[in-house]
A and B are shown apart, each in its own frame.
Chain A
Amino acid sequence: MRHIAVAAILFFFWLALSGHYTPFLLTAGVLSAALCVLAMIRARVADAEAAPLELLWAAVTYFPWLIREIVKSAWSVTKIILHPNLPISPTMTVVHASQKTSPGVATYANSITLTPGTITVGVSGKELIIHALVTEGAVDLEEGGMDRRVSRFEGAK
């Protein structure tokens, strides 16, 4: 089931990139999508970790939330950069990722890096090592608001 869904998504991606709808090219698209999935199966990567389709629906509500967070923190970093005194207080900290699956932990770590002002510099198990531009950013992450939001995203199937 997952294989067919991945093939269908790949085919529509191919279709959108090509923009030609002649029978020959459509057949070529179907064949290349099928070949890609076959290669994925052979390389043993056609599983829930490489293609987390269950998360697609949850992503519809997660991404707008993440974009709002990104805009807020990008604006505060912008103010720091343009401030004459450059008021930075670089801080490193360790936060715990409470997600159960590896796509969940990866989503959390990437969301941290994607929001300006905080970077995930290391992962050991479920402990993420964070570098933050200002101490408040590190404290915010320690309080775990984003962690809970990502866990909800992961659990919403």
Chain B
Amino acid sequence: MTQVIEIASWVLILLGSFFTIVGAVGLVRMPDVFTRMHAASVTDTLGIGFLFLGLCLQAGIGLVTLKLVFLLALFFFTGPVVTHALAQACLHEGLKPMLAEDRRNARPEASDDGRQP
């Protein structure tokens, strides 16, 4: 039984590491800041999620696992706020995202028309 849990936990930890690396690779390959944020969100969600699941299995049922769950919840609630703040700051500074298609035309835009750098 412990053997099974041990193996499952290491599979999860390795999966988490894989998605963390994928996020890092994406961060390097993507062309601009907005698309890079998309790559980083793979690390934020699947990478961290699988790593934490694996760590929970390592810790067993107890307070440590509960704290890990709290940490995961913290990541899930603060991650989007940070991403949103970063995107807003970039738009505010007048950074124009590279776009293949702009579907905003029908509606009025918000604070997106920043100064040209």
Contact = CB atoms under 8 A, between A and B. Distances in A.
Contact-residue bracket for chain A = 35 or more
Interface string B4-30: 000000000000000100110110011
Contact of A110 (B25, B42, B81, B101): B81
Interface in B80-117: 80-81, 83-84, 87-88, 91, 97-104, 106-107, 109-112
Contacts of A70: 45-46, 49
B88 A17 contact: no
B97 A116 contact: no
Contacts of A114: 41, 45, 76, 79-80
- Which DSSP category, helix, strand, loop or mixed, fits chain B's interface? helix
B35 interface: yes
A70 B99 CA distance: 23
Contact of B25 (A82, A115, A133, A142): A82
Contacts of B83: 113, 119
B63 interface: yes
A71 B46 contact: yes
Nearest to B63: A19
A123 B85 CA distance: 12
Given A16-B66, A70-B45, A121-B88, A116 B110 contact: no
